[in-house]
Structure 1
C-alpha cells in the first residue's frame, strides 16, 4: 500500500466483525453488545489471527464516549441533575467507599497485595461505565424517568470523583509504595504538595463547571441558531459533532477533566437551544457507530488466559462488581426512602465497570502500584459484568415481585411510614374536591401546573422524585411522593374526589395501571394522557384510556390557531 491504512483497517474489521457477532448474539437471544465484546476478543492481541491496532481502537472508543455523553447531556438538564443531588452525591460517595473497601479487603488480606495495589484495585471496581448504563436505560425506555435520572446523576458524580482520583494518584504514588511522580520529586514537602494538588484540581473542575454554566448557556444556543439559519444540514451536523468533540478535548487539556464529562456538560448547555432535539437526532448515527467501537475495544484488551489461570480470583472480582456494589447501592437508595423499584434500578445500573476502570488500571500499572495481574482481573470483571448487565436489568421486575411475596423485610420497607407519601393533615380539604391530580412534575407537568395556578384551579401533584415533592410542599403545593402506578399514591392524592387525572409523566408504560385505579375509585373522573408517538397515541385511544395528547399534533394545532387568529379566521 502507498500509505498507512491502520485506521481504515481497524474500523473496517471492528465494525464488520461486530455486526456479524452482534447478529449471532441477537439470534441466540443475547444482547448484541455481547457480540461486540466477542468481536473485540477475536481481533485482539490475545487470540491468533489478525490483530487490530489497540491504540487506535481505544481512541475511536473515546470518540464514542464523547458523542454518547454529549447526547445524554442534550436530554439531561442542569435542573434534572440538581433535582437528584441529595441522593446522587452522598450515594455515589458512600458506594465508592464501600466498593473500594471490598476490593482492598480481598486484594490485601486474601491475595497479599500491597496497600497501593489494593487501593487502585478497589477504586477500579467501584466506578460503573456510563456507556453501558445509557445503553441499558435507553433500551428499556427509562432514561427520562426518575429512576433513570437518579442513575445518570449518580454516575456523573462518580465520574467527577474519578477525575480527582486520576489527578491525585500520581503525586501520591510514592506514599503508596509506587514510583515517585516527577512533579512530586520537586516538591519541598510531600504533605503540602498533595494538598496543593487537591486544591488546584478542585479549582480547575469548579472553573470548568462555572465557565460552562455562565458562558456555555449563552454561546451554544446562539451558535446552533446561527448555523441553523444557513439552511445547510451537513453544516448543522458538523457544528454538533465539532461542539461535542471540541469541548470534550478542550476541557481535558485545559481543566484536566475527562473527555466524557466535558462532552456531557457541552450537551447540557446546548440543550438550552430550541434545536436541541434536532442536534440529538443528527448525532445519533455517529453515536451508535462509535459506541460499538467502544465495546470492541474493551474486548481487544481482554486476555482469555486469565480465566484459566485465576478462575477463583475472577469470580471474586465479578461477585464484588455484580453482587457487592448492587447490594450496597440498593441499601443506600432504600435508606433515602425511595421505593424498591428505584433501588433495584440503581443497583442494576452500577453492577458493571467500564472506561474509568480501564484508565485507572493502566495508570496504576504505569505507576508501579498495580500488578499486571490486577489489570487482567479488572478487564475480566468488566467483560463479565458488561455481558451480564442486560440479564441483571431483566431480573429487576421478577426479583421485585419475588421479594414482595417472600420477604417480610421488603414488605416492611415498602409499607413504612413516609411523611412525603401522605398529604399533610393541614391540607385544605376544600382543595381536595374536584381537583386535578397531576402525575409527573417534569417539563410538561410544570407548564400544566403553572396554568392551573394562574386560573386558581386546585391540583395535587403525584411525583416520584422526593426532592421535587419537598420543594413543592415548601411552596405550599399539595404533593405526594411515590409511583402513581401504586394505588396508594392515587388514594393519597384523593383521586376518588378528583375531577381530572392528568398523566404527564414521560414513562407511559404504567398508564393502564394508573387509569385502572382511577376508574375503580372514581368512575366519572376525566383522564388526560401524554403520548410520545402516533402509534402509542392510537393504541391508547383504541383502548379508551382517555383523551390522548400527542406533542407534535398539539404543536400543529397551536400554530394553526395562531394563524387563524392572525388572519381573522379566514375568508367569510
Structure 2
C-alpha cells in the first residue's frame, strides 16, 4: 500500500542528491558545498523531476543550525565571549549599518520605497551562521583568536536580527507597510520588553542552566548508558533552543549556542560534542540543500545586473568594511582578512527577514528573489574568499 511520506521523501531525496553531487564536486576539485547547493536546486520547486517538500526542508535545516551552534557553544566559554566584546560589538554594529546603507542605496537607484530598501539592506548585512562556522571548522580556525572574534561578531549580529524581527512589525506603518503606526512610547516599550526577554534568558542560562546542565550530564554518565547520554545531549540542545524561542522569542541558533556554553562547564563536554557530531553534519547538509531549493534559476537571467550589484555589496562591501574595522582595532592584516572572508556571505536570518518583509508588505517578490539569489552566489563564492584571504596574508608575510 502506498503511503504519503513527505518527511522521509525530503530527507532521503535531499541526502541522496547531496551525496551524489557533493562527490561529483569533490571529483572536480570543487568544495562539496557547491554540490549540496546544486542538489537543492535540482530537488526544488523550480526545476522538473523529483521535488522535496519546501516546508519540511527548511525545518529540517533548522535542526542543523541548532546542533551546529550547540557544538560551537561547547568550545566557547563566557570568558571567550567577553574577551572579544570590545571588537565584536562595535564591529558588528558598524558593519550592519554600512551594509544596510549600501543596500538602501541600491534600492533607491531601483526606485524602491525606503521601507523596502531598509528590509533589503538589513537582509544583506547579516552572515549565515552555518556557512561561517562550517568554514571556520574546515580551516581549523574555530578555536583560534580569529575564530573567536568571528563567532563573537556573529553572536552580536544574531542579537541585532532578533531585535529587528521584533521591532519591524511595529515600524511597518511608518515604513508604508500598510500597518498601523505605533507611538514612540509604544515602540520604546516594545524595545524594552525585547531586551528584557534576552536578558532574562541569558540570566536563566547562567544562573540555573550553568549548574543544572553539567550536573544532569554527570548523573547520566554515572548510569553507564551511552545511548541515554547521547539522548540527553540532543534533548538539551533542542530543548533549550526550542524553549528560548517559545518563551523568550530568542532565535533557535542563539538558544542552542548558550546551551552549549553552559554545557562546556561539564568535564564531559568534549564527549557530548562527539556524540552530536554525526547528526550535526547530516542536518547541516540539509541546510544547504534547503537553501538551494529557494533559488529560481530564472532570477540569474532576468535580473543579472542587479544581482551582480547585490552580490558585490555582500561579498565586497561587507568584507571591506569588516576588514577596515578590524584594522582600526590594530589587529593584524592576516586576522582582518580572515574576519572579512568569514562575513562575506548571507544566509538563514536573511531569508527570515525577507519572509517577514513580504508578509508586512514592505518587500516585493523581486527583492526577496534577489536576496535569495545573492545568498546562493555569496555562499558559493565563500570558499574562494577564504582561499584569497590566505593567499594575500601569506604573500604579505613573505614580503615582511
TM-score range, shorter chain: over 0.9
Partners of 1:368 and 1:391 in 2: how far apart?
Answer: 36
The equivalent residue for 2:218 is 225
Say whether 1:6 aligns with 2:23: no
Say whether 1:248 aligns with 2:241: yes
**TM (normalized to structure 1)?**
0.69
Shift of 1:210: 0.8
The equivalent residue for 1:144 is 143
- TM-aligned CA distance change 1:401 to 1:236, over 3 Å: closer
Gaps of 5+ in 2: none
The equivalent residue for 1:312 is 305
The equivalent residue for 1:165 is 164
Deviation per CA, 1:351-389: give whole Å up to 9, x if none. Answer: 000000000011101110010101110111110110110
The equivalent residue for 1:41 is 41
Partners of 1:403 and 1:285 in 2: how far apart?
Answer: 38
Q: Is the 8 A contact 2:71 2:273 kept in 1?
A: yes
Q: Computing the radius of gyration over CA atoms, which structure comes out larger, 1 or 2?
A: 1
The equivalent residue for 2:69 is 69
Partners of 2:41 and 2:300 in 1: how far apart?
Answer: 13
Shift of 1:397: 2.3
Shift of 1:180: 1.1
In the alignment, which of 209, 213, 234 is matched to residue 206 of structure 2? 213
**1:190-339 alignment runs, 5 A limit:** 190-339=183-332
The equivalent residue for 2:20 is 20
Q: Secondary structure at the match of 1:168?
A: helix
Gaps of 5+ in 1: 412-572
Shift of 1:190: 2.1
**1:438-457 alignment runs, 5 A limit:** none
In the alignment, which of 354, 379, 392 is matched to residue 385 of structure 2? 392
Q: Secondary structure at the match of 1:126?
A: coil
The equivalent residue for 2:370 is 377
Q: Give the ranges of 4+ consecutive aligned residues of structure 1 lying more than 6 Å apart after TM superposition.
A: none
Partners of 2:164 and 2:390 in 1: how far apart?
Answer: 35
Deviation per CA, 1:185-244: give whole Å up to 9, x if none. Answer: xxxx52221111101001000111111111111010001011111111110000000100
Partners of 2:385 and 2:341 in 1: how far apart?
Answer: 6
Shift of 1:257: 0.6
Partners of 1:405 and 1:116 in 2: how far apart?
Answer: 48
The two structures, once aligned, show a CA RMSD in angstroms of 1.3
Q: Is the 8 A contact 2:214 2:266 kept in 1?
A: yes
Of residues 191-200 and 281-290 in structure 1, the stretch that sits farther from structure 2 once superposed is 191-200
Partners of 2:345 and 2:36 in 1: how far apart?
Answer: 16
Partners of 1:71 and 1:405 in 2: how far apart?
Answer: 35
**1:467-506 alignment runs, 5 A limit:** none
Q: Pick 1 or 2: higher relative contact order, CA cutoff 8 A, min separation 6.
A: 2
Partners of 2:158 and 2:259 in 1: how far apart?
Answer: 15
- TM-aligned CA distance change 1:270 to 1:401, over 3 Å: closer
Shift of 1:294: 0.2
How many residues end up aligned between the 2 structures?
400
Shift of 1:3: 4.0
Shift of 1:49: 1.1
Shift of 1:309: 0.3
Deviation per CA, 1:79-121: give whole Å up to 9, x if none. Answer: 110110000000000000000000001111x101000000000
**1:418-433 alignment runs, 5 A limit:** none
